[in-house]
Amino acid sequence: MTREESIIRFEKVSFEYGHNKPIFDEVDFSIRRGMKMAVMGQNGAGKSTLFSLIVGVLKPESGEVHTMYGVTIATAPQVIPRDDLGLTVREFFKKCFEKPIYDIDPRIDAVLETVNLKADHDRVVKSFSGGQQARLLLASALIQNPDLLLLDEPTNNLDTAGIEHLTKFLIDYSKTCVVISHDARFLNAFTTGVLYLDVFTHKIEQYPGNYNDVLRDISVRIDKENRKNAQLEKKIQDNKDKANFFAQKGGKMRLVAKKMRTEVEEMEEAKVDVRKEDRTIRPFTIPAQEQLSGVIFSLSSYKVQNGKKFVKKMANVSLRKNQHLLLRGPNGIGKSTLLEAIASGETESATIAGGVKVGYYRQDFSTLDFDQTVYTALSHAMSKPDEERLRAVAAGFLLTADIIHFKIGNLSEGQKGLVAFAALVLEKPGLLILDEPTNHINFRHLPIIAKALDAYTGAMILVSHVPEFVEQIRIDDILDMGK
């Protein structure tokens, strides 16, 4: 197999989730051996669906997905399936193979070293932090030694060191790799081509270059299309004015007018459909609970994980109205565990003032009921029914009429995140707890979300490993659990 041969080729592939939800419309593209491709597109455009079509979990409605004979494919999905969370590390990796692997333990050790993770093979998967689970997902794909590696949002939950390690690994990686990510800096470091999923046309456009190259090319294309249409519009108006003038003269001038109107119709047809850019969510605010006063939240101690041990550390944290706390620390130290204990009231070292409503954004969206529809979930977030406000808030987060009655479990991970934010707007919390709120979210939405969090007037606790996001938010205090 030469480097120029296509190992995956889509030929006129169409796919839809029912008649009302088309995803792809006769898309064509190919992936050659050794390519490192980024997949770009709005939340819900079908990025994860694309991976399912490549591996054969989903079948196209029409068209063909051609896979070169003998090519092996492995996928690291966005999250570990819930059914696998109760497995041990050894059982989790055994599931990666159809046949029994008798030397699985040394293979596990080797691949865990590659992703920079130390783990007891008998440890249960759900006991790992979100960042550690992200490394397990990557390792589960690498242990299969595939010809084609598919990574779905691999930087989610990773700390700075984890992202740097993964970036270096992919730069040095010699095989074919396709990555879904909204992290521009990460993608620019190693990708040489882009598959752009257009949510409006349901097409997939293939570009050379990296993430920034594609954004620049699209911007140039839109500018060119707008200029062409403006020139045609000017000519059209001139011809219309002349046609009206000649038509009033009568006689042979009417024939001239008729000819000019025909030219107008031809120019109207020549106008191009200007490419639509990804929609962004509307600017929003998260209203704080009314009549907040005094200390809303306090923390006197917390536990950090050091290997198999938990070490207690003292703290002196108190938050009042309009105060924001950033919780920092490397993957696996216990940030999410602490946030969960605070939100659930299961730690005596944390005190939330009586009557304060807690809004909790979990990185795994487990505060949402995946069997509920978006409409039902948002209805439950409101203290009293208000149909008009519910629909207005939902639409602001791109949860439009064609989506609002979908079950949450059927949405993309990015859309689940938008549901979670919409619920916070409707809840009006007094204490806002956010665990990695940038995960899965389209990069175009992040400045809008950051602005809303910056302006939040209740008490807030934030965990995020994305410095560019945190820099846009007012932080009044930092608790570094890694110190």
SS (H, E, C) the chain: CCCCCEEEEEEEEEEECCCCCEEEEEEEEEEECCCEEEEEECCCCCHHHHHHHHHCCCCCCEEEEEECCCCCEEEECCCCCHHHCCCEHHHHHHCCCCCCCCCHHHHHHHHHHHCCCCCCCCCEHHHCCHHHHHHHHHHHHHCCCCCEEEEECCCCCCCHHHHHHHHHHHHHCCCEEEEECCCHHHHHCCCCEEEEECCCCCCEEEEECCHHHHHHHHHHHHHHHHHHHHHHHHHHHHHHHHHHHHHHHCCCHHHHHHHHHHHHHHHHHHCCCCCCCCCCCCCCCCCCCCCCCCEEEEEEEEEEEECCEEEEEEEEEEEECCCEEEEECCCCCCHHHHHHHHHHCCCCCEEECCCCCEEEECCCCCCCCCCCEHHHHHHHHCCCCCHHHHHHHHHHCCCCCCCCCCEHHHCCHHHHHHHHHHHHHHHCCCEEEEECCCCCCCCCCHHHHHHHHHCCCCEEEEECCCHHHHCCCCCCEEEECCC
* CB 297, CB 353: distance < 8 Å: yes
Per-residue pLDDT tens listing for the chain (483 residues):
444 578 999 999 999 887 667 889 999 999 999 999 999 887 778 888 999 999 999 999 999 999 999 999 999 988 888 889 999 999 999 999 988 888 899 999 999 988 888 889 999 998 888 888 888 999 999 999 999 999 998 888 788 888 888 899 999 999 999 999 878 888 889 998 999 888 778 889 898 888 777 777 766 666 666 677 677 777 778 777 777 777 777 777 777 777 777 776 776 666 555 445 567 889 999 999 998 999 999 999 998 877 667 888 999 999 999 999 999 988 888 898 899 999 988 888 999 999 999 999 998 898 899 999 999 999 999 988 889 999 999 999 999 888 899 999 988 888 999 999 999 999 999 999 999 999 888 878 899 999 999 999 999 999 998 888 999 999 999 999 887
Query: Looking at residue 270, what is its pLDDT?
Result: 60
The CATH number given to 6-215 is 3.40.50.300
User: How far is it, in rounded angstroms, from Cα 395 to Cα 413?
Assistant: 18
* Those residues with Cβ within 8 angstroms of residue 369's Cβ, 6 or more apart along the chain or in another chain: 377, 408
The CATH number given to 295-480 is 3.40.50.300
Handedness of CA 165, 167, 170, 172 (dihedral sign): negative
Query: Looking at residue 221, what is its pLDDT?
Result: 67
Indicate yes or no: pTM above 0.85.
no
Query: Looking at residue 18, what is its pLDDT?
Result: 72
Asked if domains 6-215 and 295-480 share a fold, the reply is yes
Every domain of the chain and the residues it spans: 6-215, 295-480
* CA 97 to chain CA mean position, Å: 28
Nearest residue to 441 via CA among 416, 423, 476, 406? 416
Q: Which amino acid is at 259?
A: K
Query: Looking at residue 13, what is its pLDDT?
Result: 95
Query: Looking at residue 222, what is its pLDDT?
Result: 65
Query: Looking at residue 2, what is its pLDDT?
Result: 46
